[in-house]
A = this chain, B = another copy of it.
Amino acid sequence: MIYFDNSASTLIKPKQVQKAMLDALEFYSSNPGRSGHREAIKTALEVEKVREKLAKYLGADNIIFTGGCTHALNLAILGTAYDGEVVCTESEHNSVLRPLQHLADEKNVRFKIATQAQKGRLTFLDLESHLTKDTKLVIINHISNVNGDVADIEEIGEKLKELNIPLLVDGAQSGGHFRYDMKKMGISMLALAPHKGFYSPQGVGCLAICGDIKLSPILFGGTGTNSLELHQPDSLPERLESGTICTPNILAFGAGVSFVEENFYAIKEKLDDLTTFLHYELSKLPVKIYTSTENTNGVLAFNIDGIHSADLANILSEKYGICVRGGYHCAPKKHEALGTIDTGLVRVSFSLFNTLQEVEKLIFAIKQILKTKPLANC
């Protein structure tokens, strides 16, 4: 079996990530932040180590642990955008578009979707005409989960900082492949999906905050502080972390961050090599590619004319044992922009643990499918 669906979740979790999770169940199963005894404090200290590591790694002032990246994006969007305008991009995932639609339905919020003028890259120019005095928040999908398009996050951050408009970055696909310095880059909030580029378990996310963003909670409950009050406390992270946090996942995420830091250049090189090789080989075939040659961050999208992407993914899985994702990718505006609203597209997404030989097998399979296309296209 060959697994090329790492943008949905990296399949192989490194040994140190597995060990951290198992250690959590063995040694850190007390509830952090709920009692004052030794076991609770021992566990809380481990969680705080990860929090500090992340804050330093991202250049953030505060780290809020959540159940996942979607939860983190909901917190950032529902927690800040009460009224006024929000500007986002055509690359946004439903984890951004659906909370915005909810706000548009229920509150005095309007959202505008910036389109990309340039192939493969979103620049500040694409946003500029949408910004008004009512713009309360800009949301940028840093690397598209659909086709690997990249936003020029440093330029955008710099300009928005000058304009004093908060910037929320959806780093679901970029986290682990890009080194953030939120303070320097003018990023107010950054949402991460550890189970993707950080090779960590599903069941944890984080919202990193920089500067004086004041967020309203979206979940309410016990915080281990101000226990007699019926309102959430003001202090962070408690205000935004109601209920018992996901300790084993957080500790494993900490190990995942270390793994990515230790292997940063190896990961970058591997993704670059595999994406470039696949792009080069596919470009020789009658295949429509939706990923720009310069975007070599491990995601490549394509279609074969006459075969629905879901069918193609199915053939690759069933006949060749190759796992890719077909159909739609939870980013409807991106499909509109790419002209794939009827067909969806096939996405290949790599991790450090993939090999050139595996890509060769994919190329071989695609060649075979192209040869037998009249049969495949049923």
Contacts of A354 in B (CB 8 A): none
- By CB atoms of chain B within 10 A, which of A1, A29, A93, A335 has the most? A29
Select the stretch in A3-11, A52-60, A117-125, A364-372 that faces chain B: A3-11
Binary contact track A326-344/B, C-beta < 8 Å → 1, others 0 = 1111101001000001000
Q: A68-B244, A68-B246 are in contact. Are A101 and B231 (CB under 8 A)?
A: yes
Binary contact track A71-97/B, C-beta < 8 Å → 1, others 0 = 101100000000000000000011111
Is A310 close to B, CB under 8 A? Answer: yes
**Stoichiometry, copies per complex:** 2
Contacts of A93 in B (CB 8 A): 221-222
Q: A17-B25, A229-B332 are in contact. Are A38 and B323 (CB under 8 A)?
A: yes
Q: How far is the CA of A222 from the CA of B71 in the complex (A)?
A: 11
Q: Name the residue on B nearest A250 (C-beta).
A: B203
> Do A98 and B202 touch (CB < 8 A)?
no
> Do B26 and A321 touch (CB < 8 A)?
no
Number of interface residues of A (CB under 8 A): 91
Q: Determine how close the nearest CB of chain B comes to the CB of A335; give it in whole angstroms.
A: 7
> Do A31 and B9 touch (CB < 8 A)?
yes
> Do A38 and B1 touch (CB < 8 A)?
yes
Q: Name the residue on B nearest A246 (C-beta).
A: B203
Binary contact track A192-228/B, C-beta < 8 Å → 1, others 0 = 0101000001111100000000000111111110011
Q: How far is the CA of A102 from the CA of B231 in the complex (A)?
A: 8
Is A247 close to B, CB under 8 A? Answer: yes
Contacts of A321 in B (CB 8 A): 38
> Do B74 and A221 touch (CB < 8 A)?
yes
> Do A218 and B218 touch (CB < 8 A)?
yes
> Do A39 and B220 touch (CB < 8 A)?
no
Q: How far is the CA of A230 from the CA of B103 in the complex (A)?
A: 12
Q: How far is the CA of A323 from the CA of B38 in the complex (A)?
A: 7
> Do B317 and A38 touch (CB < 8 A)?
yes
Other contacts beyond A35-B313, A71-B219, A203-B248: 17, CB < 8 A: A1-B38, A8-B31, A8-B35, A24-B201, A29-B201, A35-B324, A67-B203, A68-B244, A70-B219, A94-B221, A95-B220, A99-B220, A201-B246, A201-B248, A202-B245, A204-B246, A227-B328
Which A residues are closer than 8 A to B by beta carbons?
A: 1, 3, 5, 8-13, 17-18, 21-22, 24-26, 29-31, 34-40, 66-71, 73-74, 93-99, 101-102, 193, 195, 201-205, 217-224, 227-232, 242-249, 310, 313-314, 316-318, 321-330, 332, 335, 341
Query: 5 A-B contacts, Cβ less than 8 Å apart?
Result: A9-B29, A21-B248, A29-B201, A37-B324, A38-B317
